[in-house]
Structure formats: C-alpha cells, structure tokens
Chain A
Amino acid sequence: MPELALKVRVERSGFTLAVDTALALTGITALFGPSGSGKTSLLRIIAGLEPAAHGQLRFDGERWSADGRRPPPQQRGTPMVFQDTRLFPHLDVAGNLRYAERRADRHRPGPVRDEVIAALDLAPLLPRRVPGLSGGERQRVALARCLLARPRLLLLDEPLAALDLQRRAELLPYLEKLPVLFGIPSLYVTHAVDEVARLAEQVLVMANGRIVASGETAAVLERLDLPQLTGLPETGALLDARLRRHDPALGLSELELAGQRLSLPQVDAAPGSRLRLRVRARDVALAREPVAASSIRNQLRARVLAIEEQADGPFAEVLLALDGGDELHLRARITRASARELQLSPGQPIHALIKSVALDGEPLAQEL
C-alpha cells in the first residue's frame, strides 16, 4: 500500500493552499470540498503540473518536488482524468488509447488493453473520432487512456462534474468497480457528497486551501461540524444494510438494519446482498413517541449521540445511533426550536422518521 506525504504550499492573489498531511493510499480516496477550496490545485501538484507550488511530496518512498521539476510529470506515473476529458482531437479513440499504452513504463504492472476495453465497454467506440463522442463516452475513453498508462496513482479531477444526471448514473458503476478490478490507488476530487459516499473508502475534506478533516468515509461524512467546515449544506449519514426482500406488488424493497426494517422504492439487487445507503439529514425527522397513523413508513428506534446547534441559523443537527447497531448512525437536520421543544439530550431514546420517497433515487452501492 503506497504512502503519500504532502508538505506543499501555493500562494496566488487572494488564495493560499497549505497542506501538510500523510495518508496510505488504498482504493479510492476522495478529496472533497466546495469549489475554490484547493482540491484541484492539490491534485495538480501531485501530478507535477503546478510550477508555482513550493514544498515536497513523498510518494512510495520517493521524494518529489511540488513544482513538478523533479521528477517531471511524465516520469511520475500519475495519469490524470480531467473534468474536460482532454482527449486528443486529432486521434480516434483507438489512437488515444495507443498514445498512453506506448508511453507506459513497461517495468510497471498494469492492466492490459483488452481488459480495459472490456471493463469500460469501449470496443464499439474504438474507430470513432473524438468530436463525435458524447460526454459520457469521452470520459470512459479518458479513464481507459489513463489506465493504459499503468498508473502508480490514478488522479481523477471531478470526472462527473460536466455530465448530466443520466450520464453521471451511467458512468458511476464504471468508476466504482475500477479499484477492485485493477487494484490501482486513486485520488478522486469532487464537490458532490453522493460521489464520496458511493465511491470512496477514505476522504480528505478541504476548505479554504486547507485539509480540515480526514478519515474513513462513513466517519467523516457524519461529523456534525461538516457543514461549518465546508460550507456545504448537504449532510447525511451512511448506513450499511442487508436487502431482505422485494414487494413487487407495492414496488418497495425492504432493508434490514440491526433488526430494524427500512422500506424504500424497489432497488435493483438480489435479496441477501449488502447495500450502502446514504440518508440525507434533511430527510430525517425526530419524534419522542412512535407516530401512529402517519404516511411516513420508516420509524427507526435510536438514541441521541450529540446535538449541534447553528450559532446564528435556524437549524440544529442531531447525530443518532440506531438501537441494536452501535455502528449504524443517522443524522437529522431539524430546527433549533424543535430541538428545544423535544428537550433533546445525549443518550435520550428517540424515533427517527424517514419518508420512503426521500430514499428514491438515492445512491445505493452494492458491496462486492
């Protein structure tokens, strides 16, 4: 497992990036934060594309300069998937792939051409010219091109950001299976928390040019101070659940979470499989007593772990642990007024109410 240590600094007018951290690279590591927080700059420093950067990197025991001089980008083994794909317009798809393949270090292990083409379903695209490809197709080719360069570390800079929702949904499964398939450590820049939840094993949270939080994805995403740290309002929690059964007549699926049930619009997975589910904090309501005669289908028994009230806003975020599963956490976003009326305090039993429709279309990662 290669280790990446960064001690780098860039100063531009009105913006300073200063990062001093070390992490073990395994699977996909997300670099997460709002626009302008320095995620892309950090990725470019690692690739050796930021001549104005100062400092040092250490990758897998090698010393790299932050300004991209020693070693230069072409000797780092860190191919980058860009948001705007950057396919070579004067070559066809096969030519773009060959470009990377020919320049790959033969002494490095890496996926072979046929594997990559099969994994990304590129066979029909090979003779096509770049200008005729759709956004999703371009990004698949860009991904394949980088894989054929035999990466030591794969860098992905918001690869889904320029795509519409449907193309995004088409591309996500490819991104998801890559680390498993080829065992290449990846750094994935995004400002979409859904992508972090679905793809990343660990996450570095950036804001204002600094790393403000890091750790395992589930633990970081349920931190109550995440909205304050990142300025991103969309908070939530990850739940690992088992699919119990489908109810095709009503179009619902039922999940099991430490003995409790959660129903949601039918998902495409076999009963018994394990699923990862992200529940947004704003979709969770709280009640002291079980609610009778309600349209809300899911009522989970839980305990309050912590409460964080906004200093000057109307909201409070409450972290909960489900009964029977200390590892299963939920977050609820309620008003400060409700928090006072419910007299919430740590350790207090509570009922978490989740509308099934709120879970419709949520990212569900099937664990392999």
Chain B
Amino acid sequence: MDYGPLWLSLRLAGITTGLLLLLGTPLAWWLARSRARLVPVVEAVTALPLVLPPTVLGFYLLLLMNPGSALGGAWLSLTGDTLSFSFAGLVVASLFYSLPFVVQPLQSAFAAQDHGLLEAAATLGAGPLDRFLTVASPLALRGYLAAAVLGFAHTIGEFGVVLMVGGNIPGRTQLISIAIYEQVETLNYAEAHRWSALLLLFSFLTLLLVYTVNRRSLPRVA
C-alpha cells in the first residue's frame, strides 16, 4: 500500500487547521461581538463554501491562482513555482473551503459567553488582549475543540475543490480522497476498499475521542 496520499492529506489538514484557528479566531470574535452593519455581509461570505458547489469554488480559485492573475503571478515570481497544481495551492483552497467549519463553532462559543466576565476582568485591570487570552479563550475551549476537529476532518474529506485546483499529481497534490476516486475509476475495488475503510475508521475514532474528552474533562460553564 502506498501511504503517500494519506500523509499528504494529513499534512494538508494539519496545516490548514492550524492556520484557520489563527486566522479564524479574530474573525469569529469580531463576528460574535461587533454590531457593525458589515457583520451580516461578512457572515454570508464566510458561510458561502457551505452551500456553493465545490466545483464553483474550485473554478474561481483556479482563476485566482492562474499565473496570469495578480495573485498567481505574484506567487510565481516570489517562489518560482505555480500556485495552481501545487501543495501551497491546496492549502489556499482548503483555507477557503474549510473556513466556515472553523469560524462558526468559534463564533457561537464567543457569542454564548457572558460578557459580564469580560467587564469584571476589565475593572480588575485587564486590557483587551489580556481579557481575550485569559478569560474569553479558556471559556471557549469547547468551541476551539469543535473548530479544530471539524476543520481537520472536513479538509481530509475534501474532493471537488482540490481536484480542480490541485489535479492528481502523485506526491504533490494526490490526496487520499482523490487516490480512492482513481482506484474506483480503474476498477481496483480492493485498494479502494482498504483506503475507504481506513478513512472511515480514522474519522470515527477522531470524533469518538473528541466527544469523550468533551464530556469528561471540560466542566460545564454556566
């Protein structure tokens, strides 16, 4: 069995999840706390990947990453490599595709928090960043866990977007979901079975771990 596609998928999901937690936190915080008129607009844009066919998203991303476009051209002159049909391109595509799965759990965790605790922290001398790191974040731990797991699992399960943006280049852009598709296309059902079963088991164990940990160690915060 060639484990290349699996490792590539895990790497992609890990990097994407890490970046999304970093970028999604301030966005989720802003969406949960701001009363600006722009909020619904940004919320709708963030949720687009939930309803858009992956091919539509993939198509526009492909245009965006084309070496002839501003972003694709800048990337090419900066790194000497094209953004489309590369691992970096997959990361960019996954950032868009999995964004709502990270932002939404974080946003609802922040929105559900008692704003009074932040006020109390402020009168005790904690500035905005301090309050966020020492009060809001620890209280949103469940939200972070959900965001990380959903973002990771969803990135592993990507198919349409990554196929359009990355193609099917072994060792470079061939992810596990695409490898399975190829095995099925070539009627190699035994191989497809092995990979599919592995992915199924992995997904189940991840979710089981999360729900168990969630239940046991995190106190319910009233």
Contacts and interface: CB of A to CB of B under 8 A. Distances in A.
Interface of A: 47-49, 72-80, 82, 84, 86, 88-90, 99-100, 103-105, 129, 131, 145-146, 149, 155
B71 interface: no
Contacts of A78: 123
B116 A73 contact: no
B34 to A, nearest CB: 13
Interface stretch (B59-67, B134-142, B190-198): B134-142
25 contacts: A47-B123, A49-B122, A72-B127, A73-B119, A75-B125, A76-B123, A77-B125, A78-B123, A80-B119, A80-B120, A86-B117, A89-B117, A89-B222, A90-B139, A90-B221, A99-B121, A99-B126, A103-B124, A103-B126, A104-B125, A105-B125, A131-B222, A145-B124, A146-B124, A149-B123
B80 interface: no
Contacts of A48: 122-123
A136 B125 CA distance: 24
A88 B127 contact: no
Which 3 pairs across A and B sit closest by C-beta, in order of nearness? Answer: A103-B125, A86-B120, A73-B122
Interface string B5-49: 000000000000000000000000000000000000000000000
B136 to A, nearest CB: 11
Nearest to B125: A103
A172 B135 CA distance: 30
Nearest to B138: A90
B64 to A, nearest CB: 39
Given A88-B135, A89-B221, A99-B134, A82 B116 contact: yes
Contacts of A84: 116
A79 B123 contact: yes
A110 B221 CA distance: 32
A99 B125 CA distance: 9
A89 B123 contact: no
Interface in B101-159: 114, 116-117, 119-127, 130, 134-135, 138-139
Contacts of B134: 99
Contacts of B122: 48-49, 72-74
Contact of B123 (A73, A88, A129, A131): A73
B125 A88 contact: no
Contacts of B135: 88
Given A86-B116, A100-B124, 6 more contacts: A48-B122, A73-B119, A74-B127, A82-B120, A90-B219, A99-B134
Interface size bucket, B side? 20 to 34
Contacts of B130: 74, 103
Nearest to B117: A86
A326 B135 CA distance: 55
B139 A89 contact: yes
Contacts of B138: 90
Contacts of A80: 119-120, 123
A72 B129 CA distance: 13
Contacts of A88: 117, 120-121, 135
A308 to B, nearest CB: 41
B137 to A, nearest CB: 10
A49 B115 CA distance: 11
A103 B138 CA distance: 18
B119 A49 contact: yes
A281 B126 CA distance: 46
A100 B125 contact: yes
Contacts of B116: 82, 84, 86
A93 to B, nearest CB: 15
Interface in B170-222: 219, 221-222
Contacts of A90: 138-139, 219, 221
B121 to A, nearest CB: 7
A74 B221 CA distance: 25
A6 B138 CA distance: 37
A98 to B, nearest CB: 11
Contacts of B139: 89-90
B109 to A, nearest CB: 13
